[in-house]
Structure 1
Amino acid sequence: MADKAQADILYTKVDEAPELASASFLPIIRAFASAAGVTVGTKDISLAGRILATFPENLTPEQRISDDLAELGQLVKTPDANVIKLPNVSASMPQLDAAIAELQAQGYDIPSYPTNPSNDAEKAIQARYDAIKGSAVNPVLREGNSDRRAAKAVKNFAQANPHRMGKWESTSKTHVSSMPGNDFYANEKSATLTAAQAGAAKIEFVGKDGAVTVLKDGWKLTEGEVVDATFMSAKALSAFLAQEIENTKKDGILFSLHMKATMMKVSDPIIFGHAVKAWLAPVFDKHGAALKAAGVNPNSGLGDVLAKIAAMPNGAEIQAEIDALNATRPPMYMVNSDKGITNLHVPSDVIIDASMPALIRAGGKGWGPDGNEGDTNCVIPDNCYAPVYDEAINFFKANGALNPATAGTVQNLGLMAQKAEEYGSHPTTFEAAADGTIRVVLANGETLHSHDVEAGDIWRACTAKKAPIENWIQLSIDRQRLTGFRSIFWLDANRAHDAELIKYVKPALEAAGVADKFEIMAPREATAASLETITKGEDTIAITGNVLRDYLTDLFPILELGTSAKMLSIVGLMNGGGLFETGAGGSAPKHVQQFVEEGHLRWDSMGEFCALGESLNFLADVKGNAKAGVLGRAAEAATQGILDDNRSPSRKVGEPDNRDSHYWFARYWADALASQSDDADLAAHFAPIAKALADGEAAILSELAAAQGTAIDLGGYYNTDPAKTAAAMRPSATLNAIIG
């Protein structure tokens, strides 16, 4: 149950490895903060929590929980917001199904997801669940634009202790493949609304017979809002995927598909399903009707397809055909070679902003079914952002791998407030049910955008509002003035949406007298320019839209630092509050698997450490709480201590893990507080704590080490048992007694 009273700082309850780490770290935060009169509450935005909050009528009074995401959504629109947000699960359909099944097994009487609803009640249940899928959290909380960068201490440590990079060869066959046309990029239309065009718009489908179906009504659009619409041709996509499978086989390399079926929860699972069907095309051609009758949905991935086929009366026969077909296909990029989990097994297993940087860092190598590394065909169908990865691969083929010891840094300022761009498109994305036209009709009756589509085409609309765009530009001007770094707006004048943004950017820069301080480049050219800049040891700021913000703040940190989990991510909320994000969670499932199997959690809480210091400093500034400022500065010193003394978690069981890093953070934090001269009361309070943590070092580390090496029962995956989790994550009685 989340805290009821409004706390000074709200710490989010999430999922997987970040939530396990919270069980160890949050008690430390609360104990230290209380000495300064700072309260730290929690709000549950986990997948399980969101599911339970959606169906209160199905639960007993004891099982019901508040809708914390909705509460946070209101809070972030106020000046009082001070939220530390950890990475949460953006659920794909298989993840949602798994979470529902787990909760049902735990005694929660929630409905199953109706894949093919047959009545209004089932349609209503499906709609409620669909609102939970994908990026249901971030668009609600991000009422400001993004400022993401490596903290100076983190960057310095990475240069002094460079991570291992794979070797790039100029002869590498690794490359990016994208559609030759008829994708979202090619078909995009965009316009900036006038006052006369604002109001409640509609999205309509007009059939060949002239019949009109309203796909969305009451779509509120405002003056100055940039409104886009586009579609991807299903026929063109299928033909492209079939061709790339053949091209991969000819090249003798691995086939891989890189999507974001979590954030893009409507469009990308459909694209993923097309890839599954393309891979199994002869099987679907022969058994399509039977597979459909058996509930086979390729959008859920190859793993789900194979499981449902196994339950069919002729499942063995179909499986034999699949095995024979696979023998003729190119080898596939694997998620887990040992367990036979392929790139196409689960839509959420291969997430582009994590998978592509990892492959690039490894010298263009992916893992094949034989357990060996190999060159890879990286299939990214749409051309909006694929050129970033294509150019990065080309750059490293020509220049060799980046040297983390000497590389400069790429900071990012991202336009994301108020559901900007594609990540806000879920309610306005549709798969065409038949041939016809999909159009945007404005409140004044004008048709703003119109596309002729065929059955199966994926059509979407998205927007960026005026105030967030203007705030984003001003944020960029302020950051460039502060740093003097090379500053590039990643905008493609040949892309319809970007061309509209450029109409905002250029006049604003000229009005501020800083047009000569900025460059505007398409993503491909900006990628090359940024890599050239950091290769020389210099720094740059990437000023981007929402999706590129997401992609680049994994790509460059993974190359520079070896991870994106250590990024400092500050969201200056537009109404005055602060949202402090703690890095990416793409690796979290693997960390949980290791922890459950052998009691070692290698999740690195560096992102949490950085966010904590920023949150406390923000609290000191906006609330005039001097003691919070002392805590914040001491937390920064503790973060530096973790880096200087290499106290971050190791990867292997038997070595220090996440829990050890929390002990060291608490010790460094207490030391810094005990020795500071700004607040005598805090110094006196923390002096005995610092001494106890130092004196107890041997006992604490021994107790933490003894907790490793055995399997862990958490009582669940999506909805873990709090008592079991606390016992697993706080195994040192000595440390617990000191912290209280």
Structure 2
Amino acid sequence: MAKIIYTLTDEAPFLATHSFLPVIASFAKTAGVDVETRDISLSGRIIALFPERLSAEQRLDDALAELGELAGTPEANIIKLPNISASIPQLKVAIAELQSQGYDLPDYPDEPTTDDERDARARYDRVKGSAVNPVLREGNSDRRAPLSVKNYARKHPHRMGKWSSDSKTNVVTMGVDDFRSNEKTWVAPADDTLTITFVGQDGSEQVLKQSIPVVAGEVVDGTVLHVAALEQFLRKQIQRAADEDLLFSVHLKATMMKVSDPIIFGHVIRAFFPDVFARYGADLAAAGLTPNDGLGSIYAGLDALPNGAEIKQAFQDGIDAGPDLAMVDSDKGITNLHVPSDVIVDASMPAMIRTSGHMWGPDGDEHDTVAVIPDSSYAGIYQAVIEDCRAYGAFDPATMGSVPNVGLMALKAEEYGSHDKTFELPGDGVVRVTNAAGETVLEHDVEQGDIWRACQTKDIAIRDWVKLAVTRARNSGTPAVFWLDETRAHDAVLIGLVRTYLQEHDTDGLHIEILSPEDAMRFSLDRIRRGEDTISVTGNVLRDYLTDLFPIMELGTSAKMLSVVPLLGGGGLFETGAGGSAPKHVQQLVQQNYLRWDSLGEFLALAVSLEHLAGVTGNARAKVLADTLDRATGTFLDEDKSPGRKLGSIDNRGSHFYLAKYWAEELAAQTEDTELAAAFQGLATTLAEHEDTIVAELATVQGHPADIGGYYRPDDAKTSAVMRPSATLNAALASL
């Protein structure tokens, strides 16, 4: 039997799955398609780490490893929902919740001193940050707004903030002594094995990473961010925010860049509170309280210290004396510096740009902002958007064009594959990368505390990326621009490879060019203001940034993007959008039994998954399901059945009902498969006749607290009861 793997993830997407998956399974089985689930949630991945400590009933297989193997085969057909890319504070809370549920798990050791603690730390580190995506993304990405979604946004444009020509909001970045400026690149001439070694000034050697396999043609980068320069830069920007009466904000990616960016986040907090750390730094360190985890984590641990109240007041004095901080939640006093995972650059910067270049201040109002993005690799793209909006005003979703993306991410390409090769240096000296023959291929002078990292990009991934870009440009008739900077070491190598591999394809009549990220941004902005589309062809990090930035401006959210990953092994990975707002949605469900998560991304991914399955297996009915789902999604959008934001509207569960109704009606009306049409006639009639009853059953539960039994590990039975409150709808689906 043909099958689709549907992933169980976290937060709002996980809750929505309890409502939508029964619809999928009921419809898919009519085409002989089995829908199986695999648990790749943060809690599921934690549980799978410690089978020897758990009962047989509690144990879980390593579903992520299983799917990683499947992703390399032609049979792969995986629908991947957003998952938590866990920061250390999130990981600790998840562990505590599982412990409270009876799982015998060790605490996360910040400073392991025993073999058991070192083992636990090593296991937990495997699920930190972007642990899922690099495993599953065995192909490059094709992300775009489907025409039906784009047309809906044009008919129903979302609100955009009004920009002022005298806005003082700007992006500030280091430009020197950072990852971009210190990057060095080497291309492997043959298969080899690399070793990364730190050589101290006294001649001592410490192997940081050994036995790193590389293949012929692989692009290997090494770079370092000098923390002395970072600290000087941060002090300057804090003073600038104070002098110009601007909010101070920092924008990092402490989830995906799980080693480097929490360290940088900690330096930001130290720079903002120099007096606190000068006076109490030793006390905080002794208590295991690190600024890398954010102010919120420090505050939570102060109650256990005899001088905790004194230290907390010192932090408050520092806040009062410094520039106003951008706020995550001004009502609750949660600042931009509270939680590393609260302010993720690819979500926070587009939100700021959409909101007139403003962030929220401690007074609950919007203000101009100094947006600090320390590394200059991609900071300039956001400054280019800010300058464009300052000159020409906000973009108009009713008329603007689109910027789909072809992203280089296969085989852990570029920065997101750097986690296991990122180090905070223990002293002054040199970091040296050597090959199996002992020859030095990369080398950097470093000082204590500097952050050094290496990245790898395989030639097969680059070739596939170029091929996918040409294919998308030809199929869409849209210009394609490679966002590559000839003055950056890595990009300079890629430019040469792109030019070589383009010659392997028929590019006659196509508009394909290579521009620096800043120039490519200006080129694309000029075109979308004229209503014209431009394909962005980018590396892994820019893929993430742009597929949040442009959809948030075009569609109001990145959750409505279609994200297809043609896997190198011949299978398909179908992603369902971004999950940045998922935590707030869970809070609202627990408080009000109302889930405003928009599952449109799941609808889009399911359609292309079924289409892919039909093409690979020859299953004609799967193709009918895909085509009718496409049409049903169009009706769903035209009828405006997406979840509302406020209690009393249709929520996620109501949107699933209407999608099922429209899909059943399309299947009953289609003529390609009369037997299938007859099978759905009864369901279509039932859902139409009982529409008012079902909507009432779904609405009645709203306005009351909901018990799902946990945040990171909800109880399955309780969650199903909450997410499937309509007995009429449940019975109708069971009748299939």
Q: Distance in 2 between matches of 1:445 and 1:514?
A: 43
CA-CA distance at 1:7 after TM superposition: 6.0
Which residue of 2 is the match for residue 355 of structure 1?
348
Match for 2:384: what amino acid? Answer: E
1:205 maps to amino acid? F
Q: CA deviation at 1:292?
A: 1.0
1:277 aligns with 270
* Equivalence for 1:21: 16
Q: 1:131 aligns with which of 126, 131, 137?
A: 126
Amino acid corresponding to residue 11 of structure 2 in structure 1 = E
TM-score by length of 2: 0.99
Contact 2:483 2:516 in 1 (8 A): yes
Counterpart for residue 726 of structure 2: 732
CA-to-partner distance for each residue in 1:90-144, whole Å, 9 max, x for gaps?
0000000010000000000011111100022211110110010000000000000
- Whole-angstrom CA distance in 1 between matches of 2:499 and 2:666: 46
Query: Is the Cα–Cα contact under 8 Å of residues 381 and 518 in structure 2 kept in the other structure?
Result: yes
Task: State the Cα distance separating 1:323 from its structure 2 match.
Answer: 2.0
Correspondence for 2:562: 568
Of residues 393, 398, 402, the one that matches 1:400 is 393
Amino acid at match of 2:49: T
Provide the C-alpha distance between the structure 2 equivalents of 1:116 and 1:663, rounded to a whole number of angstroms: 50
TM-score, normalised relative to structure 1: 0.98
Other structure's SS at 1:459 match: strand
Q: Do 2:589 and 2:595's aligned partners in 1 also have CA atoms closer than 8 Å?
A: yes
Q: Is the Cα–Cα contact under 8 Å of residues 7 and 41 in structure 1 kept in the other structure? A: no
* Within-5 A mapping of 1:402-551: 402-514=395-507, 517-551=511-545
TM-aligned CA deviation for residue 704 of structure 1: 0.6
Does the alignment pair 1:12 with 2:4? no
Cα deviation 1:684-730 (Å, max 9, x = unaligned): 10000000000010100001110110111110000000011011110
- 1:128-527 alignment, distance < 5 Å: 128-195=123-190, 198-514=191-507, 517-527=511-521
Q: Say which of 630, 638, 643 aligns to 2:632.
A: 638
State the one-letter code of the partner of 1:501.
L
Q: Distance in 2 between matches of 1:325 and 1:143?
A: 46
CA-CA distance at 1:511 after TM superposition: 4.0
Opposite residue 737 of structure 1, the aligned amino acid is A
1:183, 1:383 within 8 Å by CA — same for their partners in 2?
yes
Give the Cα separation in 2 of the matches to 1:294 and 1:721: 34
Alpha-carbon separation, structure 1, partners of 2:536 and 2:118: 42
The Cα of 1:325 is off from its aligned counterpart by 2.0
Instruction: Tell me the SS of whatever aligns to 1:402.
Output: coil
Query: Is structure 2 residue 50 aligned with structure 1 residue 45?
Result: no
Decide which of 47, 67, 78 is 2:62's aligned counterpart: 67
Task: Please tell me the residue identity of whatever aligns with 1:210.
Answer: G
Task: Report the Cα distance in structure 2 between the residues aligned to 1:40 and 1:231, rounded to whole angstroms.
Answer: 45
Task: Note the C-alpha offset of 1:320.
Answer: 2.2
Corresponding position of 1:103: 98
Q: Check if 1:712 corresponds to 2:706.
A: yes
Instruction: Verify: 1:675 aligned to 2:666, yes or no.
Output: no
Deviations 1:69-100 (A, max 9, x none): 00000000000000000000000000000100
- The corresponding residue for 2:586 is 592
Partners of 2:349 and 2:513 lie apart in 1 by 26
Q: For 2:717, which of 707, 720, 723 is the aligned residue?
A: 723
CA distance in structure 1 between the aligned counterparts of 2:732 and 2:476, rounded to whole angstroms? 42
Distance of aligned partners of 1:490 and 1:307 in 2 relative to their CA distance in 1, 3 Å threshold? same
Q: Percent identity?
A: 58
What is the CA–CA distance in structure 1 between the aligned matches of 2:501 and 2:612, rounded to whole Å? 28
Could you give the per-residue CA deviations for residues 166-195 of structure 1, whole angstroms, max 9, x where no partner exists? 001110011101114100011000121102
DSSP-derived class of the 2:102 partner:
coil
Deviations 1:1-56 (A, max 9, x none): xxxxx861000000000000000000000011111111000011100000001110
**Structure 1 CA distance, aligned partners of 2:312 and 2:63?**
45
Structure 1 residue 519: deviation in Å? 1.1
Distance, in Å, in 1 between the alignment partners of 2:218 and 2:12 is: 38
5+ long unaligned stretches in structure 2: none
Is the 8 Å Cα contact of residues 175 and 375 (structure 2) preserved in structure 1? no
Paired letter, 1:459: W
Give the match's secondary structure for 1:245.
helix
2:96 counterpart of 1:81: no
CA distance in 2, matches of 1:609, 1:392: 31
> What residue number does 1:694 align with?
688
Q: Distance in 1 between matches of 2:242 and 2:629?
A: 53
Aligned length: 733
For 1:665 and 1:426, the matched residues in 2 are separated by: 40
C-alpha displacement at 1:375, in angstroms?
0.7
User: Where does structure 1 differ by over 6 angstroms across 4 or more consecutive aligned residues?
Assistant: none
Q: Judge which range, 305-314 or 616-625, deviates more.
A: 305-314
Give 1:309 shift: 2.5
Contact 2:8 2:40 survives alignment (8 Å): yes
Cα deviation code 1:610-653 (max 9, x no counterpart):
00110011111000000101111111111111111000000001
Counterpart contact for 2:2–2:32, Cα < 8 Å: no
Structure 1 distance, partners of 2:414, 2:219, is 9
